[in-house]
Structures are given as structure tokens and as C-alpha cells.
Amino acid sequence: MSWKQGAGLLLPVVVLAGGWSLAVWADESVVNSKHDLSAQGPGPIRAVSEDEVCIFCHTPHNAAPQTPLWNRENPRVYYRIYESSTTDARIDQPSGPSKMCLSCHDGSMALGNVLSRPETHPIVMTARTIPPGEADLTNDLSDDHPIGFRYDRALSNVDPQIKAPELISRELPLGIHNEVHCTTCHDPHNNEQGDFLRVSDKYSAICLSCHDMNGWEHSSHAASPKPTLGRSVDPTEPLKYHSIRENGCTTCHKVHSAPERERLLRFTREEDNCLNCHDGSTSTANIMADIRKRSAHRVDVTNDRHDPDEDVFSMKRHVECADCHNPHAVKADPFGVVQGTQGRLVNGPLLGVKGISIHGREVEESRFEYEICLKCHSDSLSRSRQAISRQVTQTNARLQFQTTNPSFHPVAGPRRNNDVVSLIPPLRVGSMITCTDCHNSDNARSAGGTGANGPHGSLFDPLLVRNYSTDDFTIESAQSYDLCYGCHNRDSILNDDSFPLHRRHIVDLRTPCSACHDSHGVYRGSAGVSDHGSLINFDLEIVTPATTPTGSRIEYQDTGRFSGSCTLTCHSFNHVNFPYQGNRAGQQSNTTLGGDR
């Protein structure tokens, strides 16, 4: 290689076989770019009188013993490097070309100190060092895209979200040992793409050259034409391009100086990375309004607790958007009002999310909606407490929905109980339902509203799509038990088609459905379980033990279709082996509700 003077610029000339030479001309020139620090440079940081351009990095004489004829000392700084619980790469201290870039961009060395000039006579600059700001990376690189790691087949074999090195574009050169350097993404001599990028970042092109995020190509975030100008969180920081799909990865991530170091997120609070669009400012759905309702998954309450690599069985109690949604795979929700059987596989917004199977095993990608819910509401030590004091206590929803239980709502499998004659068509015996049939936004589209589907927030406790009164002495109405009447025909219930004393209990004595029925199910393995068919699991705030010759007890026995007996005290009535029998026509016998029986 030789050097040629041209237009005040030292240009490298590559000598080819046969004596031909090829000069690297204007398409790769630093002239008039931000790296042009000469007195004629376009930026506020430039030399006072120095006309040469290349001298700030290169010199043909007295260069440092490293290519390409380096004209600066490398920094002797120990850098804080990027760390993440989900990275599989071994990240080392910067070296080689990265150190050369950092000789200016860590802000520790004077810009005018070059080896070709005496230390006593540096190039006089308008600023001694690079000023604080986006270009000043400092010695803290933990908030920048990692460098200094080897990108090889061993890494791609353990991390399925990055491509094999042989598939990487040759436009993104690695180091001599396949290391990722600053110069892998940035060409310091060419600013045609902006930010000296070797490949455009529009539509995530440069990111997707290496990263292979499962589901991204067909995701909503990759395809959304929504403008990003209306974001309400940090609106002072405009994004580079107009729409979400054009900005792609950089809608949520910052390559350098990211406020949230791990995973380089734009905002420190996890939920702000989602709600800056999903608060109605950019996205159609206003999730912010839902999470501020009376009962909600309050993603804004905790911070720095969620981790994509967390152990779902021992994690601290929290909820974040990413617990239920994978932003790299999420798709639009096609569901409007849903009628009849659901029990469906996960849909667009829930694609690519980890879960817990009904058998208690962790699954990498949930197939059923309930598997996502069970991450927190089953074996997790941080699961919710039981809201109603029950005869049989169980807070593990996975156990409550077991299909081997005496009774259960058919979430994990169908229940074939021919006593249930009140189902509203097309629901029928053997139908399945989902968690969000009951737990959903009160304004969800799937329930006839106009808001987003999903249990983000509701006016009804505990995060119910419709009202469900559990207080004793509730006056029966379509509104009081709206949740139940969404699937069970109110007329059938009040006509005593299955239980001959439904009307007597609900209307006359104003006893709530929850006094007798436990909505999830009754786990067979719980202590003291005897006969708990028809979701019978009494509310101990309303039902107390009956005094019998053999002692005090609460007991329900199923004695056949539409028949059974109860031993308990409720509303001062002492029932001892109190029998009932009825049929779908409302016929009844032995059903006079009075004192001791």
C-alpha cells in the first residue's frame, strides 16, 4: 500500500499485480463527514487551522505498530462491558479496531494528540476532547451494543436467535479471530447510510444481518405502518424514520447509550417501552387506560424484577408486558365478539411466549392460552392468595383445572357433566373455554366492547370481563351474576332446571353463586376432599358446620343426576343430610327448605 495526496486528503492506494493501482475515491471519503476534523470540516468540532483530513487517524510515517498506519495512542482504560442474563457470548475488553475508535469516542484522550506531532504541539481543536453526548461512549460500554466477543459457530449453536457466521453479509466484516468490533457495523470512511453504518438500519436491515428473532418477519411490529411521531413517552427524542416498520428494532432499542442497559431498551421502566405506543398515542388500543382500572395487571407497580431468563417457579412477584407478550413475534388480534366454544390455541398477541403446561412442565412456546397464565398462577411461589375462604383451599390454578378432579371448569380439557343443562348454545357438554372468557378487560372486543382483548384491566374484581357479585344477601339480577350468565342461561337457572332450589337460594334468600360454587375447580389431592362435584366448595364466610350427632361438619354428597344432599348451616338454617332431587322440567321432591332435616 502506498499513499497519494489528493484534494488535501491522503488517500490509500492499493497496488495490484502488474503495477496497476486502485485509489479509494469519493464514495468512501470522509471529506465533509463528521469524521472530517480538519479546519474545513462541517461540524462544530474541528481543527483551528489544520487542513489535512486523514492526519487525525492515519500517518505514513512514525505510525503506531498496527494497521492501518495508526496515528494515535490507544486508550489505557478499563471499560465496563455489556452484561445480560440472556447473552450466550463471552464479552471481553475492546481490542484492535474497537480500541482505535475508542481513542476518540471514550472521551478520555485529546482529539489533537497524534503520533506524527510532538506531544508539546498537538493539533489545536475547537474542543479538546469529544464533548458529552451520543458520540461520547465514555468508559462505560454496558449501555452499548456488545463488542469484543467471538462470533463463531459455537455461539450460533447455543443461541438460536443469531445467524450462523457463514450467513453474515460480507458487508459486515469481523476481526481476524471472528471478533465483533465497532468496525463490523460502522465504516469510519463512509457516511452514506448515516451514522457511518455499513448497512442501512431502515427496516432493521443491519440488525437482521446477524439477529434471527423467531417470528419477527411476520410480526405486527415489523409490518406496522403507524407513525412514531405521536409517542407520549419521551416525545422529545424523535426516531430516525417515520413509521414503526421503518424504525424496526430501534423503535424499542438503542444501539448506544441505552437508558436500560440490559437488552439496550429505550426506557428504564420496562412497561414504558411498550406503553410509549400502546397508550393510544400510536397504537389503536389504549392499554394504559386498562391497567389503571380498579382491577388490573399493574405493570407500572414494579420495576427491574422481570427477566426473560427468570425461573417461573421462584421469581419475585411481578407482572410486565413481556410476561405475556413476545414483542418480536406478536401479531394483531383478529378476534371480535366470540361466541360458543373457545379453548383455542394461542393467538397473535400471545405467540412465542413461555408457559407452564397443565402437568407443571415449562414450555418454551405456549400452545394454549392457559399455559401463559399458569406461569404466575400455578406453581409460582408468588401466586395470588385465595380471595374467598373455602372448605377446600387451593391457590394453584394448575391443580384446580386438573381433569381428574371431582369438578372443574373445562379450561385444560372438556368436562362431560350431563347435569349442566343451562349452557347457552353453541356451548354444550364437552365444550372448552379459556381463562379470558372470564378474566378479561370489561371493554374487550371479544366481549362486545371496543377495547383490546386480554386481561389488562377491568372495572370488576378480580380482573373479570363482567360483574360477579360474591357478597351475601346480593339481590339477584342479570347484572349481579353477569359473568355466570354469559355462559349459563339465566332462565334455566331460575327455573330450577338442574338444581330444584336455585331460585329459592339466589332470589328468595339472596345467596350468591359463590357461596356454593368454586369457579376454577376443586383439586382431588387437597386434604379433606370427599365429594365436590358441580364445583361445590362452600364459602366459609357464609356456610358454617352443621351440628350433627357425629359432630360438626360441612358436607355435600352427589347422589345421582340432579340429586344430592347437604350437611351445613347457612343463614341460620341447620341442614343435616338435607336431600334434594329435581329434573330439567323443574320437578322437585324433598326440597322444602326449612330447619333441621
Q: Is residue 518 part of a domain?
A: yes
pLDDT tens digits along 36-77: 999 999 989 999 999 999 999 999 988 888 778 999 999 999
Name the burial class of residue 497, with classes exposed (0-12), middle (13-18) and buried (19+) by CB atoms within 10 angstroms of its CB: buried
DSSP string, 158-190: H-TTB--GGGS-TTS---TTSB--HHHHB-TT-
Residue 594 scores a pLDDT above 70: no
pLDDT at 208: 97
Q: Does residue 158 carry a pLDDT above 70?
A: yes
128 inside domain: no
Closest by alpha carbon to 405, among 513, 536, 512? 536
Given a contact cutoff of 8 angstroms between Cβ atoms, the answer to whether 445 and 451 are in contact is: yes
Number of domains into which the chain is organized: 1
Residue 580 counted as domain residue = yes
pLDDT of residue 593: 47
DSSP 8-state assignment for residue 544: E
The cell for 439 is: 378474566
All 3 cell numbers of residue 86? Answer: 440472556
The pLDDT-based confidence of 384 (bands split at 50, 70, 90) is: confident
Residue 266 confidence (pLDDT)? 92
Cα–Cα distance, 532 to 522 (Å, whole number): 7
Confidence (pLDDT) at 233: 66
Q: pLDDT tens digit string along 454-474?
A: 999 999 999 999 999 999 999
Summarize the confidence of residues 467-489 as an average pLDDT: 97
- What is the DSSP annotation of 555-586? EEEEEETTEEEEEEEETTEEEEEEEEEE-TT-
pLDDT for the residue numbered 282: 87
**Is 471 a member of any domain?**
yes
Burial class (CB in 10 A: 0-12, 13-18, 19+), 594: exposed
Number of Cα atoms under 13 Å in the Cβ half of residue 222 = 18
Please report whether residue 543 resides in a domain: yes
Q: Report the candidate in 389, 388, 391, 390 with the shortest Cα–Cα distance to residue 553.
A: 391
Look at residue 43 and give its three-state secondary structure: coil
The answer, yes or no, to whether the previous bond of 426 is cis (omega within 30 of 0) is yes
Residue 535 DSSP symbol: G
State pLDDT tens for residues 179-188.
999 999 999 9
User: Which residues form the domain of 423?
Assistant: 397-589
Which residue shows C-alpha cell 343430610?
Answer: 577
Q: What is the pLDDT of residue 516?
A: 96
- pTM of the entire predicted model: 0.87
Instruction: Please give the average per-residue pLDDT across 345-354, as a whole number.
Output: 90
In a domain, 566, yes or no: yes
- Give the Cα separation of 518 and 522 in Å (integer): 7
The reported pLDDT for the residue numbered 590 is: 47
Q: Percent of the chain beyond pLDDT 70?
A: 89
pLDDT of residue 1: 38
Q: Answer whether residue 293 is part of any domain.
A: no
Residues in the chain: 597
Q: Could you tell me if residue 339 is inside a domain? A: no
Per-residue pLDDT band at 526 (split at 50, 70, 90): low
Examine residue 238 and say whether the peptide bond preceding it is cis (omega within 30 degrees of 0). Answer: no
For the chain, give the mean pLDDT. 88
Up-side HSE of residue 146: CA atoms within 13 Å toward CB? Answer: 20
Q: What does the pLDDT look like over 232-288, one tens digit per residue?
A: 666 667 888 999 999 999 999 999 999 999 999 999 999 999 998 999 888 888 999
Q: State the pairing for strand pair 407-408/21-23.
A: unpaired
| Closest alpha carbon to 539 in 507, 561, 509, 571 | 571
Q: What is the pLDDT of residue 446?
A: 87
